[in-house]
Structure 1
Amino acid sequence: MVYYWLFFLYCQLVVCLAWSDGAVRRFPPGFMFGVASAAYQVEGGWDADGKGESMWDRSIHKRPDLISDGTSGDVSTDSYHNYKRDVEMLRELGVDFYRFSISWPRVFPDGFTNNKNEAGFQYYNNLIDELLKYNIEPMITMYHFDLPQKLQDLGGWANPLSILWFEDYARNLLERYGSKVKYWITFNQPNGICMEGYGDGTMAPFVSVKGIAEYICVKNVLLAHARVWKMFNEKYRVKNKGSLGISIAVNWLDPLNNATENVQATDEYREFTIGLYVNPIFSKTGDFPQVVKDIIARNSKEQGFRKSRLPVLTSDEISAIRGSADFLAMNHYTTSLVSRPKKNNHPSPSFEHDANVKLTYSKHWAVAKSPWLRSAPYGLYKALIYLNLKYDYPYIIITENGWSTDPGLDDTQRVDNLRSYLNALLLAIEDGAEVSGYAAWSLMDNFEWTAGLSERFGLYEVDFDAAEKTRTPRKSAFVYKEIIASRIVDEAFEPKSMQMTLSDRRMKMKAKIEL
């Protein structure tokens, strides 16, 4: 415990010294730059051309008050009709890949694969072809929070049959697009799916069965991922020469101070928020972290349960899940400071009661529009070093990292955040982290779940009042474009023009390669 505390103090010192050493660090050859989005957040067309109802559609239409500004994803940026403009923006930036998700109810309106919506499949085929036309690799997330409502009616991810539903759905995606798509992600953030969707009820399906449903969900999602991995590994890997991973939120956690109880609380909370998802797949032994199993079992007994509320993974299930990913798709946004409260006042039972921590932030960290988002770039470095030490240098692609603001084109705070985090990433790579790509969240403003349109994460600003949902590059788009083209983070670079064109160095370089 003391070792970890001293080691991560050292890490923070390394970051501070490196940022002041004046060295010019360059992203290595083959490093991929991209941007990310998600179907429900950008596509709109919620019932267009045969698309089925998702659990987000049902939830928001019944309860618009769940969204802070009363908006929805019914139209959003209307990428369903504007995908060619989206690809044009990707070309303007000069990215290597575009991470997007497929809407399950758009291709299978009822969730079950007997009822296919060819119009939905054609939409994604058109998008993929448009990307490949300009040498932009599609990176597809199979599931990004938008479960078909009819499957949620049957219990959603709390139903063990969801494992088979997802396997059938994934098989169809691999059959349709496997020859064109080399990068696949099964799930985006199981913690968001389970803890927020089925535990605290702050995300669709807005179910709150605390301390029980979220853990059932975690097991089912991991097993669903493992089933798809096995299918991919046996049938599609050699044929399509692709790779498959899972996207996990790995925000960093530091102790508030070096008090023993706070260091212990931080170690445990990392296992609850990171290890619960990473350990079963990427550790040598597999299974849920032992400390998590012990705490939940103890609490369950005290609460009168006959068995632990955390479902057991059998030896066969542990074996199936362990090693079931080519890469860890890592979403990282922020850092929190952890302390142990004197009294556990969290609802019992609940994930919060099991973890039993208090989270705060440093007063020195910049605050985004999103109240939970603070800028602490050293946390990315420390998170990557932690993964190296604990999981033996996993192969990582950063699939989300971003900053929220109010509307406006001069987003200097986003620029500062982007540069700082990319500098931290360069240091981590220098110190051995196996990171092969980075995706900014997000390409453009979108529907930010329960925050609606009130928080803007886009490199491109979207005029949601305009019928055509006009996209305009922010300052951050020009800065990111320059980083991609130069492969360095130039703190002195300032855009000379706010007019984005396709005639940058990167596009010229790509054209030469094509010739």
Structure 2
Amino acid sequence: MSATTDSPCLGHGSCPQVSEMLQVTYGGWQNVNMTRYFREYADLCFEVFGDRVKHWLTFSDPRTMVEKGYETGLHAPGLRLQGTGLYMAAHHIIKAHAQVWHSYNNTWRSKQQGMVGISLNCDWGEPVDINNPNDIEAAERYLQFCLGWFANPIYAGDYPQVMKDHIGTKSAEQGLEMSRLPMFSLQEKSYIKGTSDFLGLGHFTTRYITQRTYPSHQGPSYQNDRALVEFVDPNWPDMGSSWLYSVPWGFRRLLNFVQTQYGDPLIYVTENGASQKLHCTQLCDEWRIQYLKGYINEMLKAIKDGVNIKGYTSWSLLDKFEWEKGYADRYGFYYVEFNVRNKPRYPKASVQYYKEIITANGFPNPREVESWHLKALETCSINNQMLATEPLLRHMHVASEIVVPTVCVLSILISALLLTLLLRSHG
């Protein structure tokens, strides 16, 4: 499970030994019994931490978890059950989420007065040609296969119709008697619907979407089921990671889509940020400042549109472990020197800028905002000097740890030798 600032995440990176046991012994999320095990785990978390934690996320970005864990094999458990495994895993994750919500609602809510939601990550899909019905349908399909896959059962009781139609048709074409997308029973639909006190939303970038016009020769797969093609505008600012471009206007459109699609839910933006640009000074992250300014401003516009946004969390406070990228992708406001034993941290320019946004709760006027920018870049140069001297200080520290004790020991030995010679001469 997971949480906001005052809450932990239950389903995003628990103990690896336990995860391995559940996968090897029980088959992981391919096994429906995982829903019960997960609910028992959540109950333990509620019992131990519920007096302090008031905002709970059952899962964080489950779409990536099932696609890369059960479709492409890039993430644990590394399975490639193409076109089947990810849908079954997602099916059981949705059921597990509902069980946890009901457990909290029935047992813990009256005593702890907390909230339970789920965090879903999705980019915005914009039709390549807004006058082309096929592109409009493809963009809608993109969003439903991304966000609606998990949100629709929770808010409407079932998978999006476009998912059921496309996967069902593809399954029939592949000679299968039943759709590869599992079905919820009427009882399950009723049980799952409404199991969210808020929606956590992660968002990073945008894609142009068009209908795929050529036939796919690959077998069953998530990508084949969507039957669309993604594009990026080469003029969009590149944020460093191969998939990440700065397209602020897509954020506002996604937030408005969520409001109208799911009945004006309470929204917490749980992830939004930019990674380290290559060949740039580590601490003077001007590109991140521009990204923050654009995306937060579009979120504020969405609030004026009437979207019920309660909070915003930038990704992330520190450079940290990022999926299969490890420590290579740096999203943090604070640079972490991972090669040093005590992992020293250095504030980037974006720290100063983000502090000003928080203090002002937005952007007061262009002149003042520009002064934030200049001040942030000035302070980062000082921090860069500190970072540059770190290797020298580290070598000096290592040298002192070795040289000083060695000199002391030699001094003692020489003194002892001289004392011995002196005593012998007197004798």
Do they fold alike, i.e. is TM over 0.5?
Answer: yes
Q: CA deviation at 1:145?
A: 4.1
- Structure 2 counterpart of 1:163, one-letter code: T
Structure 2 distance, partners of 1:172, 1:458, is 31
Give the C-alpha shift of residue 200 in structure 1. Answer: 1.8
Q: Output the amino acid matched with 2:142.
A: Y
Contact 1:346–1:356, Cα closer than 8 Å, also in 2: no
Which of residues 280, 302, 319 in structure 1 aligns to 2:153?
280
1:165 and 2:47 correspond: no
Instruction: Write the deviation string for residues 297-340 of structure 1: whole angstroms up to 9, x where unpaired.
Output: 11111101111111000111111111101000000111111112
Counterpart of 1:264?
Answer: 137
Moved more, 256-265 or 354-363: 256-265
Contact kept, 8 Å, 1:145 with 1:188, in 2: the verdict is no
Q: Partner of 1:442 in structure 2?
A: 316
Alignment partners' CA distance in 1, 2:199 and 2:39: 20
1:152 paired to 2:23: yes
- Unaligned regions of 5+ residues in structure 2, if any? 384-427
In structure 2, which of residues 180, 196, 207 is the aligned counterpart of residue 325 of structure 1? 196
Q: CA deviation at 1:346?
A: 5.9
Pairwise CA distance, 1:139: 2.0
Counterpart check, 1:362 vs 2:223: no
Structure number with larger C-alpha Rg: 2
Task: Say whether residues 1:139 and 2:11 are aligned partners.
Answer: no
Aligned AA for 2:316? S
3-state SS, counterpart of residue 52 of structure 2:
coil
Q: Deviations over 1:152-177 (max 9, x none)?
A: 11211111111011011111000000
Which of 164, 184, 191 does residue 313 from structure 1 map onto? 184
Is residue 338 of structure 1 aligned with residue 241 of structure 2?
no
Aligned residue in 2 for 1:123: none
Tell me which residue corresponds to 1:465: 339
Deviation at 1:202, TM superposition (A): 2.0
Q: Deviation digits for residues 403-453 of structure 1, max 9, x if unmatched?
A: 001460000000100111000000000110000000011111112122222
1-structure distance, mates of 2:192, 2:122? 19
SS at match of 1:247: strand
**Counterpart residue number, 1:376:** 247
Say whether residues 1:409 and 2:283 are aligned partners.
yes
- Residue 238 (structure 1) aligns with: 110
TM-score normalised by L of structure 2: 0.83
> Residues 23-42 of structure 1 correspond to what in structure 2 (within 5 A)?
none
1: CA distance between counterparts of 2:369 and 2:72? 41
Q: CA-to-partner distance for each residue in 1:462-510, whole Å, 9 max, x for gaps?
A: 001110011111001111111111212353113353589xxxxxxxxxx
Matched position secondary structure for 1:491 = helix
| Matching residue of 1:429 | 303
In the alignment, which of 127, 139, 142 is matched to residue 255 of structure 1? 127
Q: Which amino acid aligns with 2:123?
A: N
- TM-score normalized by the length of structure 1: 0.69
Cα RMSD between the aligned structures? 1.7
In structure 2, distance between residues paired with 1:291 and 1:357: 13
Secondary structure of 2:369's partner? coil
Q: Please give the alpha-carbon distance, in whole angstroms, between the structure 2 residues aligned to 1:167 and 1:488.
A: 39
Q: CA deviation at 1:290?
A: 1.1
Counterpart code for 1:193:
M
CA distance in 1, matches of 2:57, 2:103: 14
Q: Where do residues 296-311 of structure 1 align in structure 2 (5 Å cutoff)?
A: 296-311=167-182
What is aligned with 1:229? 101
1:209-235: CA deviations, max 9, x gaps?
A: 111010001110000000000000011
The answer to whether structure 1 residue 350 and structure 2 residue 221 are counterparts is: yes
Report the Cα offset of residue 456 of structure 1.
Answer: 0.8
Amino acid at match of 1:290: Q
Report how many residues are paired.
366
Equivalent residue of 1:191, what SS? helix
Task: Return closer, same or farther for 1:269/1:344 CA change in 2, 3 Å cut-off.
Answer: farther
Verify the 8 A CA contact 1:346 1:353 in the aligned structure 2: no
Deviation at 1:345, TM superposition (A): 2.3
Aligned counterparts of 1:288 and 1:318: Cα–Cα separation in 2: 10
Q: Is the 8 A contact 2:122 2:143 kept in 1?
A: no
Q: d(CA) in 2 for partners of 1:140 and 1:320?
A: 24
Which residue pairs with 2:92 in the alignment?
A: 220
Aligned 8 A contact 2:71 2:86 in 1 = yes
Q: Superposition pairs for residues 62-101 of structure 1, below 5 Å?
A: 99=4
- Partner-residue secondary structure (3-state), 1:366: coil
Greater fraction helix: 2
1:270 to partner: Cα distance: 1.4
Q: Distance in 2 between matches of 1:268 and 1:389?
A: 16
Asked if the contact 2:349/2:379 (under 8 Å) is kept, the reply is no
In 2: Cα distance, 1:447 partner to 1:462 partner: 11
Q: Paired residue for 2:80, among 200, 208, 226? A: 208
CA–CA separation in structure 2 for the residues paired with 1:334 and 1:238: 39
Could you say which structure has the greater relative contact order, defined with CA pairs below 8 angstroms and 6 or more residues apart? 1
Which residue identity does 1:395 align to in structure 2?
L
User: Relative to structure 2, which stretch is displaced further, 184-193 or 401-410?
Assistant: 401-410
Gaps of 5+ in 1: 1-37, 40-97, 100-136, 501-515
SS in 2 for 1:218: helix
Give the C-alpha shift of residue 261 in structure 1. Answer: 1.8
Amino acid at match of 2:252: Y
Amino acid at match of 1:262: D
